[in-house]
Structure 1
Amino acid sequence: MRDWNGLLTQLTPEKAADFRSQGYWAEDRLCHQVDEAVLRTPERAAVVDRGGSTSYVELQRLSHVVAAGLAGLGVRPGDVVSWQLPNRLEVVTLMVACTRLGAVFNSLAPIFREREVSTMLALGAPKVVVTVESFRDFDHAKMMSSIARSLPEIPTVVVIDGAGGDLGWPQLLSDGEARLDAEGPVDAGTSADAVAQLAFTSGTTGEPKGILHTHNSLYYGGRVIVERRELTADGVYHMASTLGHQTGILFGILAPIHLGATMVLQDVWDAGDYLDMVEANGVTMTNGATPYLQDTLERADFAARDTTTLRQVGCFGSGFPSPLARRAAEMLPDVEFYGIWGMTEVGLATSHSPGDPREIVCDTDGHAVFPIEVAIRSDDLTEELGPDEEGEMVVRGPSRHLGFLQPGLAPSHFLDGDWYVTGDRGRIRSDGRLVMTTRSKDIIIRGGENIPVLEVENVLIEHPDVWSAAVVAVPDERLGEKACACLVLRHGASFDLAELRRWLAEKKVTRQFWPEYVQVYPEFPVTPSGKIKKFALREQVAAIATGPIGRGA
């Protein structure tokens, strides 16, 4: 059993007492919030997905059954339960069940493939892994079973909707029902200061960072959304972004459950399906990558669709360009649009406020979401900068994570025992609103999806014809950013986009991480210390979006 408490290097008795005294933290866990919703509105729909509607009282029962089933597989407090699932009821059920058991949940995005999943599972060492047989024509059960057999501690693989693995979901439910009837509900009584979530996020070292949230830091992230956006229990909250990412978890699950409201989960993004869900369920709020809004407004039948219940639309990942904001305001005049900035490490950090004018929404990233604090530090992090001075962004507050799975990361990421160094750069205007400028950690955000740059670079450098590689962002009108692979080749070699795709497929890199462009250089511009000047490469490739292949100057 891991010493989770030892990894929570930023959790001190003084900090916990302070956050409790201010009312930010308590002893609630997600399962308690479901139980409270059952007392208030037992028959209200909790989850609507492709399979139908599930009430809060049904979700409560299912979570008890799944908790008992997982306990029967040997899951104990502190054990990790991982899953790789599309947006569906079972994700919510598993999250609630883990909080009953005191288990640590680890939700992986469905786009990840063998290279990423094997690394994450090796780091997380789960007791149980849950997946589907297939999703979007990919055999997840086969991949997961193969990876599980390669791990030092082999987890039980549970498969939903099909064959494969060690156990089917129906059998888990049947075993859980029997155990629940025989022994009663499971409640580990875990402290809200215990680790609740292990989340992986792209890092600059190539290995994903293991982010540790306690019940308190995680669930305050859902509560602050409710308070900032002035959400209500009678709202209906749609989520199409993956529940394998923090945005999906916070906006799609935690905020609605905090209210006892209805969540509507979409497993595959399609603008037409989304509009069907709005009409069928009376969706009042949706949050997702900016291209989702663009796709919706470009539907030929948009004017004929009923969107009168829609009140709020949040965009994240690639900004909110002015032309799109203008068009959205014209086509959905009764809807409030806003941008959000946050991280897996802290949840929602800044957002626009209700009533902010369009120019504020387009030109800034909003105010810090109280009591979350954002500050700008000098490049050496020793001095806090004043208004409109650009520097390193740091953040702190009750929703910030409290440690890393890899404890060696803590000294370089936490400042003064309180501030988290984000790796992003920005400035705070005189009116207190944040303007992000660059991401110094070089992660490319393509349509809301983080591309782990160093990982892709390392795979490219393994190619026998590649001498050096640097992956940089190319501006894209729809997705915000795409990726360009800048390469220096070995003498006499050639390399094009087709070869890049063949190589990354062979190396089993997630397809969404593949660069869309290739630029070949005789040599890279470098700093005096020999580091590649990526900012110079970004400037050079900014104009190549009209053609997928070229040669650098």
Structure 2
Amino acid sequence: MIAKLTDIEALEAKGFDAAYPQKSPWDILRHQAETRPDKVAIRYLVDASDPARDEVVTYGDFARRIMGAAKLFRGLGVTPNASVAILAQHTPSAQTAIWGAQIAGRACPINPMLKPDHIAGLLDAANAKVAVIMGVNGELDYWSALVPALREAGVTIPLLACDADAQSPGADGVFEEMIQTASGKDVQPEGDETALAAFYHTGGTTGAPKLVQHMRLNEAHVARSCAIMHDLTERDVVVNGFPLFHVAGAFVYGLSTLSAGGTLIVPGRLGMRNAAFMGSIWQQVERYGVTILGVVPTILASLKATPIDADISSLRWLLTGGSPLPTELADAVEKHTSVPVRNILGMTECAGAIAVEPVHGTRTPMSCGLRMPFSEVAVFGETEGDADPSKPLGPDETGIIALRGPNVAAGYSDPARNIGTFLDGGWLVSGDLGMIDNEGRLFVTGRKKDVIIRGAHNIDPQMIEDALLAHPDVLTAAAVGMPDAYAGELPVVFAEMRQGSQAGEAELIDFLRDRIEDPVALPKRIGTVDEMPLTPVGKIFKPTLRAEAIRWAVGQAAEALGVEAEIAVDEKLSTRVMVPGESVDAMKDRLAGMPIKLSVEARS
């Protein structure tokens, strides 16, 4: 049982092989199939209102499907140096495709909502020989528009339909049928635990695709580490509605549960956006004996507002990550549910986990928890603005967070992108500012790397800025995250316009609509400034803009409540909100979930 750093050190003293006997995802899944073949691995809710329609997949059946997929992919030309692209929702078929791809070659899960040209670039960069795409259905039909667009973009590889409710025009086969009929000898994975297992795209950038190279051990280490830190067992029933192109869905909550022999509850194609599931979330907990909910802070906020109308005594933990966890939100959810909330910090470049709050330890406000076993987390000073491993900082000193260990990926597929992120000595620079206390707990205090986190999606602000700078009236542009009680952050942009420009906010947003690759990165608001705030060396000083974005967010909340608010944001972005005394509680509730340090007080 892990509760504090000394427990991790005791585990490490037993040796790596004792703690991590399986060193690849397939080793984990094959072991479970041999150990508990009839245990339910995945319960997929086809219709959240009708349990009779659930698709139930045992560990034995799951392993057979995965090997069938591996045989299929090998027959279609997938070798250890090639990949299978998976553009689908979180379903048993998508899970099957990912793990089967890693046996035959490499997996490349892709967000199907990206623009077709960007997807085509990812397919090429990953050397994809086949793609598995969710086929025509009544809930999320991106096949009908995406497949013709990919063909028009020059994609010629086989495109297989999965999870379809109807015929999918242009399909080169139906994935579920093809894995059932795949024949031949079992495929043996080539190479050891350091072989490349998957490409995961990150950042939402335009231009050349940015692919993280996961080794098999990266994914297995994170899965098993999260199982250890979260005390997962074969008795656990874990709701995982994250997409599989996100490391949380695949490893932090997915493979971790399977590594412990537990059961995954997957709430249909829509995941946690499944209104029927979320509208009856507590009844679902009672029905399936759910022990753990894996969610982002935005979902925590909705749980706080959902009356408990069922017996949820089976629920052990509420696990969250993907964006900062406001202390007020965690407190409110724990008070509402009587279920502990625990946080996690991760990134795609380390398969989803840097630090985890162990469930048997205490929740510490603003802490992300303890490092993964057999890994190192450090805080470095800077040299010319970059993290410098020769300048390690001590407890409670703030600097740039970095890590190294079995969870750190093998860099980007384009080595030129490694500069400043993957350093000599095995260090991965997270891009966050933070500190480590004397108990080994990690705290994120800010950002060095300029990224906007909307829900669990990382958005590269430069991508938005570059797109907006293409407008003839825009002189300079700067994108930042505006705090949001539901999404964590929303992208907003500040623009300095040419003198005499008549372009308004609506025109600028329409201009960006076709130029932003990822729909979640489309700015929610564009403000104009007479002059950009600059540093002494002439760089845009974004803290000033973030302060204004905070004022926007708090001002919108006050307007929605119909109250007048005085808003003060200091140089460290701590925010003080003054409202009439009778509105203090309502304002606190309205702002709960925003990832900012704030106080709400009665106006004298």
- TM bracket, shorter-chain basis: 0.7 to 0.9
AA aligned opposite 1:83: I
Measure the CA separation in 2 of the matches of 1:327 and 1:547.
22
Distance 1:206-1:23 versus aligned 2 partners, 3 A rule: farther
CA contact (8 A) 2:402 2:427 kept: yes
Deviations 1:189-210 (A, max 9, x none): 4422210011111178965531
CA contact (8 A) 1:38 1:60 kept: yes
CA contact (8 A) 1:72 1:175 kept: no
CA contact (8 A) 1:393 1:425 kept: yes
* Aligned equivalent of 1:62: 65
TM-score by length of 2: 0.80
* Aligned equivalent of 2:517: 509
* Aligned equivalent of 1:46: 41
CA contact (8 A) 1:63 1:97 kept: yes
Measure the CA separation in 2 of the matches of 1:384 and 1:199.
30
Measure the CA separation in 2 of the matches of 1:378 and 1:77.
40
Measure the CA separation in 1 of the matches of 2:551 and 2:419.
39
* Aligned equivalent of 2:345: 341
Measure the CA separation in 1 of the matches of 2:243 and 2:545.
31
* Aligned equivalent of 1:372: 375
AA aligned opposite 2:288: N
The alpha carbon displacement at 1:292 in A equals 0.7
* Aligned equivalent of 1:249: 250
* Aligned equivalent of 2:583: none
* Aligned equivalent of 2:225: 224
Which of 88, 92, 95 is matched with 2:95 structurally? 92
The alpha carbon displacement at 1:508 in A equals 5.3
**Which piece of structure 1 moves more, 528-537 or 496-505?**
496-505
The alpha carbon displacement at 1:336 in A equals 2.1
CA contact (8 A) 1:364 1:434 kept: yes
Deviations 1:398-453 (A, max 9, x none): 11112320112334323332211121111122332211122222111112221121
Measure the CA separation in 2 of the matches of 1:504 and 1:281.
44
Residue 453 (str. 1) matches residue 461 (str. 2):
yes
The alpha carbon displacement at 1:370 in A equals 2.3
Percent identical residues: 25
CA contact (8 A) 2:301 2:329 kept: yes
Deviations 1:99-122 (A, max 9, x none): 332x11011234433354233223
After superposition, residues 342-361 of structure 1 pair within 5 angstroms as 342-346=346-350, 347-358=352-363, 360=364
After superposition, residues 85-124 of structure 1 pair within 5 angstroms as 85-101=88-104, 103-114=105-116, 116-124=118-126
Measure the CA separation in 2 of the matches of 1:218 and 1:323.
32
SS of the residue corresponding to residue 399 of structure 1 reads coil
Residue 541 (str. 1) matches residue 549 (str. 2):
yes
Distance 1:387-1:196 versus aligned 2 partners, 3 A rule: same
Stretches of structure 2 lacking an aligned partner (at least 5 in a row): 1-13, 47-54, 558-604
* Aligned equivalent of 2:28: 33
TM-score by length of 1: 0.87
AA aligned opposite 1:427: M
Deviations 1:320-350 (A, max 9, x none): 22332222222221x2211110111123111
Residue 306 (str. 1) matches residue 308 (str. 2):
no
Which of 465, 472, 480 is matched with 2:480 structurally? 472
Distance 1:208-1:305 versus aligned 2 partners, 3 A rule: farther
SS of the residue corresponding to residue 420 of structure 2 reads helix
CA contact (8 A) 1:145 1:165 kept: no
Distance 1:141-1:76 versus aligned 2 partners, 3 A rule: farther
Residue 521 (str. 1) matches residue 526 (str. 2):
no
Deviations 1:9-35 (A, max 9, x none): xxxxxxxxxx99665666743233223
**Which piece of structure 1 moves more, 83-92 or 313-322?**
313-322
Measure the CA separation in 2 of the matches of 1:217 and 1:517.
38
SS of the residue corresponding to residue 227 of structure 2 reads helix
After superposition, residues 393-408 of structure 1 pair within 5 angstroms as 393-408=401-416
CA contact (8 A) 1:158 1:165 kept: no
Distance 1:216-1:307 versus aligned 2 partners, 3 A rule: same
* Aligned equivalent of 2:153: 150
The alpha carbon displacement at 1:355 in A equals 4.0
The alpha carbon displacement at 1:174 in A equals 3.9
SS of the residue corresponding to residue 368 of structure 2 reads coil
* Aligned equivalent of 1:11: none
**Which piece of structure 1 moves more, 75-84 or 402-411?**
402-411
Measure the CA separation in 2 of the matches of 1:237 and 1:218.
19
SS of the residue corresponding to residue 379 of structure 1 reads strand
SS of the residue corresponding to residue 502 of structure 1 reads helix
